[in-house]
Amino acid sequence: MCRQAMRGLLGWGVLGVALCGCLWGKPAAAQTGGKTLADSRWAPGAEKTAPVSAEYRQVQERLARGWNTWAVNSVTTEVLLPEGLAIHLGLKHNSTEFQDAFLGDVLIGRLDKGAEQVTPGPHAWDGSYTDLRVAWKGHSWRVQSARTGSDLVMLATPLESKPVSALPPTLVVSVNFLWNRPGTVERRGDFIATRGSGGDVAVYCACAADRRDYADIPVSGPYFSADFTAPVGVSTGKRRTLDEIRAAIERQHAAYRQSVAAAGKSAPIFDAIETTLGWDTIYEPAGERVISPVSRVWSVGWGGYVLFDWDTFFAATMAGIGDRDLAYANAMEILREETPQGFVPNYARSGGWKSFDRSEPPVGAITVLGLYQQYHDRWFLEDTFEPLLKWNRWWAAQRDIDGYLAWGSDGSTEPQNLDDRSRGTRAGAILESGLDNSPMYDDTTYDAQKHVLEFADVGLMSMYIADCDALAGIADAIGRQNEAKELRARGTRYRAKLATLWNGKAGIFLNKDLHTGEWSTRLSPTNFYPMLAKAATPEQARTMIEKHLLNPGEFWGEWIMPSIARDDPAFHDQNYWRGRIWGPMNYLVYLGLENYDDAETRREFAQKSYALFLKEWTQNGHVHENYNALLGSGDDVTNSDRFYHWGALLGYVEYLEEGGGK
């Protein structure tokens, strides 16, 4: 994924009708400081979307309904869909001197100095129960929510803390409509009356409301405010007491515990994955869709949402353990971002902008086939087959060099993403790998004419062969015999080429520098991916496992597996893909181990992966983007997002090992 994140926040929309001074018609491109500005924030052609089937429309309609933490900007905001009615919980820090502050939006994993610290608790797939804790400016509090019928209840409880001010904080409950959805909101005495597209909804506060009601709170709608010295409850539909709100929350909490317990010995992993995806799932209003971006912090920085290629496919795989609709939605929506050239982009973001120059690892077909084998919905294969086929053909057509596959970036592809300085460069080609600063590519050469690295890549070729095999299986299932034959022939061709990258002396498949003709001896988990493609013979797999995977000087140890071998000079950088541990690498290697007869190694591999995940999960409720391979921590650096859903793949491999999904 492209790691050029912005860390700003977007403000909430305001209620009511505003006058807009704007120009009708299409203005000429503007020049500012010598830089050309686009006519619009929207990418050219961004309004064009791939058609969807009636079955998939029903998936999104089922998902985008009812109360949930749909708004990307804050995990303490509940939104009712499809109306867009929002209830926000904010906290005002009060002081007798120059120290007041207001926390209106709460996000998991913000790293700014003085930012709120959030410990996420359970979050049901459908938002029927949520629980989290927040600490900020010496205040600590808990926020729980639950559905009761079509209504919502929320409970905010102050926790023991060490305040930095002599004055109590103020809890603020504000109400408005988001995303320009039609509606009116009015404070009427002790309740707030709303009217939206779905009818009337009344909002009540079970609190000792401050009759003076602060007039200087920066919120965009009617609100309640109360000294936050005791629990505050919120309910919709009818007035409820605190005891009634607590009872409704406990009922849903019990239902959540019961649903998780049904997973048996996999219950702790099931809970972690459901919670992770529950908090990361949002409603994206421009596309009118439910999606699971990697984290809210990333999405806010990218203008509202960002979908990375393989990250989103992995989200679909994990959602498959408990929410079929969400799994389908993530797989479908990243495929619907496919570019006119026929590839799934590295990233797709708010405004319709994408990496029009590059893709990312081809893991789509194995994801789709895995979900089909679990749920058996033929329409899902029919909806996904054409974009997957176009993408598969694109790799062979655009990323082949001397019969091998290599990463690339074509900066001349239109429309050009003008702010992406990496397009059409060596850096952009490396970004296509998803391994942004991997030492494997330190000495590679970029062919500006062919737009690729002159580097035969074992990982890419292996994932692509697995893609061919899986897509051929999909073609069989929907009666596309000609395409199945085509895919198997292409897979066979690249499998034969991959075989030439086996180095008997090294005892592993090696990347090859096609510029110099030399082998690359730098080892990464991607060197084991031929097992994923079933391209390694049983003897080759055994050699790789014994000589390299189980070698504590390279990949084995307490925490596995580092993104570059432990004996590589770059390992001690422990900076992003330079030595840290990443969930997707462990997952793909585990899938490869499943193809060979070494149950003991596979079992220990899954247990070690899960132990790494549990360390941060149990201590801090964090699901890290990456982990330190020496310390087993994700909090030692600032470039490891604290709630990045693919970190849960480290637990998912143990779920698979325990027989989950079978």
Q: Read off the pLDDT of residues 296-353 as tens digits, 9 standing for 90 and up.
A: 999 999 999 999 999 999 999 999 999 999 999 999 999 999 999 999 999 999 999 9
Whether residue 566 is contained in a domain is answered as yes
Report the C-alpha gap between 589 and 198 in whole angstroms. Answer: 48
Q: Read off the pLDDT of residues 446-481 as tens digits, 9 standing for 90 and up.
A: 999 999 999 999 999 999 999 999 999 999 999 999
> pTM value?
0.94
Report the C-alpha gap between 454 and 451 in whole angstroms. Answer: 9
pLDDT band at 3 (very low <50, low <70, confident <90, very high): very low
pLDDT band at 4 (very low <50, low <70, confident <90, very high): very low
Whether residue 662 is contained in a domain is answered as yes
Whether residue 474 is contained in a domain is answered as no
Q: Does the pLDDT of residue 20 top 90, yes or no?
A: no
How much is the pLDDT for 212? 59
Domain stops at, among 237, 258, 279: 258
How much is the pLDDT for 214? 63
Q: State the average pLDDT for the chain.
A: 92
Percent of the chain at pLDDT above 90?
A: 86
Whether residue 244 is contained in a domain is answered as yes
How much is the pLDDT for 9? 29
**574: closest CA among 651, 644, 648, 634?**
634
Domain stops at, among 227, 258, 289: 258
pLDDT band at 163 (very low <50, low <70, confident <90, very high): confident
Which two tokens mark 252?
Answer: 């849903």
Are 294 and 313 in contact by the 8 Å Cβ rule? The answer is no
Which two tokens mark 438?
Answer: 């991997």
**Residue range 563-571: average pLDDT?**
98
State the residue range of the domain holding 590. Answer: 537-662
Are 82 and 65 in contact by the 8 Å Cβ rule? The answer is yes
The lowest-confidence range among 19-23, 332-336, 574-578 is 19-23
Report the C-alpha gap between 652 and 270 in whole angstroms. Answer: 8
Helix (H/G/I), strand (E/B), else coil: 416: coil
- List, as one string, the DSSP characters of 276-339: HHHHH-EEETTTTEEE--S-HHHHHHTTS-EEEHHHHHHHHHHHTTT-HHHHHHHHHHHHTT--
Whether residue 154 is contained in a domain is answered as yes
3-state secondary structure 156-191: EEECCCCCCCCCCCEEEEEEEECCCCCEEEEEECCE
CATH number of the CATH domain containing 123: 2.70.98.110
Whether residue 96 is contained in a domain is answered as yes
Helix axes 599-620, 649-657, angle to 10 degrees: 140
Domain tally, the chain: 2
**Residue bearing tokens 């003991």:** 600
Q: Read off the pLDDT of residues 511-539 as tens digits, 9 standing for 90 and up.
A: 999 999 999 999 999 999 999 999 999 99
How much is the pLDDT for 533? 98
Report the C-alpha gap between 280 and 278 in whole angstroms. Answer: 6
Are 233 and 185 in contact by the 8 Å Cβ rule? The answer is no
Q: Does the pLDDT of residue 211 top 70, yes or no?
A: no
Radius of gyration of the chain (CA): 26
Whether residue 371 is contained in a domain is answered as no
How much is the pLDDT for 661? 58
Domain stops at, among 205, 237, 258: 258
Whether residue 44 is contained in a domain is answered as no
N residues, the chain? 662
For 200, how many CA atoms within 13 A lie in the half-sphere containing its CB?
A: 6
Report the C-alpha gap between 296 and 279 in whole angstroms. Answer: 8
